[in-house]
Amino acid sequence: MKRRIPLLVAVIIILASSQACKRMLSSDEIYKLHKELNTIDSHTDTPLRMMRQGTDLAIRTDPRKNGGKVDLVRMEEGGLDGIFFAVFVLSSPAFSNQETDEINAAIKEKKAKWTAGETTITKLSAKDIIQRRRSAQRFDGITTVEKDEFLRMLDMLIPRRDTPPWDAISWQPRIHVVLFIHRVKGLEPGLYILIRNESAIDSLKANLSDKMEWLPIEKTPDHLNFYRLVKANAQNASATLSCHQHIASDGAFSLGMLSEFDAALETSPCVYKHLYWEAGILGHILYLEAEAIDLQGTGIGCYFDDAFHELLGITDTQFQSVYHFTVGAALNDSRLRTILPYEHIRRD
Ligand SMILES: Cc1cc2nc3c(=O)[nH]c(=O)nc-3n(C[C@H](O)[C@H](O)[C@H](O)COP(=O)(O)O)c2cc1C
């Protein structure tokens, strides 16, 4: 009997370790699975906080700084699909009715605020915008974009659950956006960065030149990790880095998509193509958001990646640029004619 114990232990260890191997999922797979599952929190005391003045569940809060543990931003990020609000009412019917009415009113008001976040910025339909989208060949070099419009475009680059086109991919953002801002009202010209995945902040800070300012931009939605890196006229740099193309310097801003690279490829070599899918989605969003506010964009595939990395102080391949883009007020080339899609099969 004594001799059997080590054997039994060995069998248990082998079984346990093979189970562990079977259960090993990559972080992408875990994230995908989590996104597919409906996750419900069966009890939160959030309505108590809603009764407090100034509470807005549409913005990110921090429980360590007097905020709550629940808000829509973190619900979306964390993949929480629904919650049950707990409501405490006194047992007397009169009190209970009054309190219930107050809570209902508070919830209605918050609901109104949440939907107000999805502002209408154009009367054009999605179809109109998609069909009229064209790449700009030249920009006017003078038009300034409003800060709200610009921030909205950045916000649209952050994935939202169950929202196209983000529902087409299953991984967390690996691409961050380095912006050459030329003409955005309320922002000094210079080099800026939008970090699309909070978990990359430390590693970006460690990999970019230590001369970067990392100045958080005021009056920006809390969930946007948007920083100024360098205050400077970035027009020459952006044109030069984009194979000397003036579309990068004459727009309101241009940008380079800086991807997490070594760590991403360690997951699997096939992640390489995922990086380009993600960059393509970002490009499409920028194209359509620009059209929606009467601007235009152009994808920039011709750029000097080594020089761009050098500008940022990047010395290895932990982060690499995968695509560039530019946005501004386009000058139309009268030599080009745009016809409607499928014009040749139109009957009317
Ligand atoms: C991945 C990609 C890279 C591009 N690179 C450049 C570029 O470096 N310079 C440029 O002027 N246009 C560039 N463009 C714009 C293309 O020239 C343009 O998309 C193409 O002529 C089709 O026109 P359309 O976008 O109006 O349909 C790029 C477009 C894409 C999708």
For residue 247, give the ligand 1 atom closest to its CA.
11
User: Does a structural domain hold residue 26?
Assistant: no
Measured in angstroms, how far is the CA atom of residue 300 from the centroid of ligand 1? 6
Number of structural domains found in the chain? 2
Measured in angstroms, how far is the CA atom of residue 24 from the centroid of ligand 1? 41
Residues with CB under 6 A from ligand 1: 134-135, 245, 247, 298-302
User: Does a structural domain hold residue 60?
Assistant: yes
Give the model confidence (pLDDT) of 197-236 as tens digits. Answer: 999 999 999 999 999 999 999 888 888 999 999 999 999 9
- 70 with 133, same domain: the answer is no
User: CA 183, CA 235: separation in Å to the nearest integer?
Assistant: 10
In a 13 Å sphere around the CA of 35, the CA atoms on its Cβ side amount to 20
User: CA 266, CA 93: separation in Å to the nearest integer?
Assistant: 62
Ligand 1 site-directed mutation target among 135, 276, 303, 323, most atoms within 8 Å of CB = 135
User: Does a structural domain hold residue 27?
Assistant: no
- 177 with 225, same domain: the answer is yes
Residue with the smallest CA separation from ligand 1 atom 14 is 299
Output the pLDDT for position 11.
52
User: Does a structural domain hold residue 166?
Assistant: yes
Measured in angstroms, how far is the CA atom of residue 137 from the centroid of ligand 1? 9
Ligand 1 site-directed mutation target among 300, 324, 338, 339, most atoms within 8 Å of CB = 300
Q: Return the structure tokens found at 2.
A: 């004594």
Mean pLDDT by 10 residues, the chain (348 residues): 53 48 68 83 82 73 77 83 78 65 70 52 88 94 96 92 85 96 97 96 97 94 93 98 98 98 92 96 97 97 98 98 98 83 75
Beta strand 296-300 with 319-328 is antiparallel
- 215 with 312, same domain: the answer is yes
Residue 289 sits in a domain whose CATH number is 3.40.109.10
- 244 with 269, same domain: the answer is yes
User: CA 346, CA 195: separation in Å to the nearest integer?
Assistant: 44
Look at residues 81, 116, 151 and tell me which one is the last residue of a structural domain: 116
Look at residues 51, 84, 116 and tell me which one is the last residue of a structural domain: 116
User: Does a structural domain hold residue 1?
Assistant: no
Residue with the smallest CA separation from ligand 1 atom 22 is 135
Q: How far apart are the first and last CA of the chain?
A: 91
- 59 with 163, same domain: the answer is no
Measured in angstroms, how far is the CA atom of residue 328 from the centroid of ligand 1? 15
Ranges of beta strands (E only) in the chain are 40-44, 82-85, 175-181, 190-195, 215-216, 225-231, 253-260, 296-300, 319-328
Output the pLDDT for position 6.
61
- 131 with 277, same domain: the answer is yes
- 97 with 148, same domain: the answer is no
- 176 with 202, same domain: the answer is yes
Measured in angstroms, how far is the CA atom of residue 250 from the centroid of ligand 1? 16
Residue with the smallest CA separation from ligand 1 atom 20 is 135
Widest distance between CA atoms in the chain: 93
- 91 with 153, same domain: the answer is no
List 231's β-bridge partners, or say none.
190
Domain range for 98 is 34-116
Pair 221, 206: CB distance under 8 Å? no
> Cα angle vertex 205, ends 201, 210, to 5°?
165
Measured in angstroms, how far is the CA atom of residue 312 from the centroid of ligand 1? 25
Q: What pTM was estimated for this model as a whole?
A: 0.72
Residue with the smallest CA separation from ligand 1 atom 29 is 299
User: CA 221, CA 73: separation in Å to the nearest integer?
Assistant: 11
Ligand 1 site-directed mutation target among 131, 275, 298, most atoms within 8 Å of CB = 298
Output the pLDDT for position 117.
46
- 143 with 262, same domain: the answer is yes
- 81 with 51, same domain: the answer is yes
Give the model confidence (pLDDT) of 331-345 as tens digits. Answer: 988 888 877 778 888
